[in-house]
Amino acid sequence: MSLHTHTFATSNELVTVFSQRIADTLKQAISEKGQASLVVSGGSTPLPLFKALAAMPLEWSKVTITLADERWVDSADSASNEKLVRENLLTGHAASANFIPLKTHHSDANEALEQLSATFTNLGLPFDIVILGMGEDGHTASLFPCSEQIEAGLDVNSPAMLIATQPTTAPHQRMSFTLRALVSATHVFLHLTGDKKRAVLMDALENATDIEKPIKAVCDKSSVELMWAP
């Protein structure tokens, strides 16, 4: 559909503007519907954003937060996105937000699909805000080009909201929202820093297929706002 780029001089400026934009959008959703939903991604890039959001005074008790994807590891594991979110976002004002983890007690992510799907069906789509990152292979969430599940994950005609994936180029089984669930969001943001990531994104959009670089599928199927700083 489209990619609208917001370029910032520094990462600090990006975080200041982006965190306020997110807070304003959540406030608007709460005023219109009485609740709001925010889907975040893991990794090091969003950490300053998480800390800025946690300091924002809004009705966090009316906000449901979840993850775009999760590694199938214990929530105390250093690889856990849930751990990252609990330590950096669900603090300060945002400590009262309702958090829904993607990792369950099941030993295999496939076994958790029914339970998680029911949880998010009750919450209801579309999400208000989805914030995605991107790997240097063009993957987003845990929709990896190297995984056997990539075609199913990118199938927007599939009713599935979630998919268990097993990348071959990265450790751990994963739980991920599907392309359909992600791009149905009212606001889809892509948060990147650095020239290298921007080059990967542009190459994906100009030269790759959706399967080769799944981030292209996101930009093709929704209006994405790129928040980028060098």
Peptide bond into 48 cis (omega under 30): no
The token pair at 213 is 């670089």
Angle separating helix axes 214-221 and 195-207, nearest 10 degrees: 70
- Tell me how crowded residue 87 is: count the other CB atoms within 10 A of its CB: 12
Q: Are 108 and 116 in contact (CB under 8 A)?
A: no
- Smallest CA-to-CA distance from 183 within 205, 201, 200, 161 is with 161
Q: What's the pLDDT at 148?
A: 95
Q: CB–CB of 165/188 below 8 Å?
A: no
Question: Would you state the pLDDT for residue 210?
Answer: 96
| Torsion sign, CA atoms 40, 41, 42, 45 | negative
User: What pLDDT shows up at residue 96?
Assistant: 98
Q: State how beta strands 187-193 and 129-132 pair.
A: parallel
Which residues lie below 8 Å from residue 117, measured CB to CB, with a gap of 6+?
160, 161, 162
pLDDT along the chain (230 residues), means of 10: 93 98 98 97 96 97 98 96 98 98 97 97 93 96 96 96 94 97 97 97 96 97 97
Contacts of 198 (CB under 8 A, 6+ apart): 192, 228
Q: Residue 60's pLDDT is what? A: 98
pLDDT reported for residue 103: 98
**DSSP H or E stretch at residue 204:** helix 195-207
**Which CATH number applies to 2-229?**
3.40.50.1360
Domain ranges of the chain: 2-229
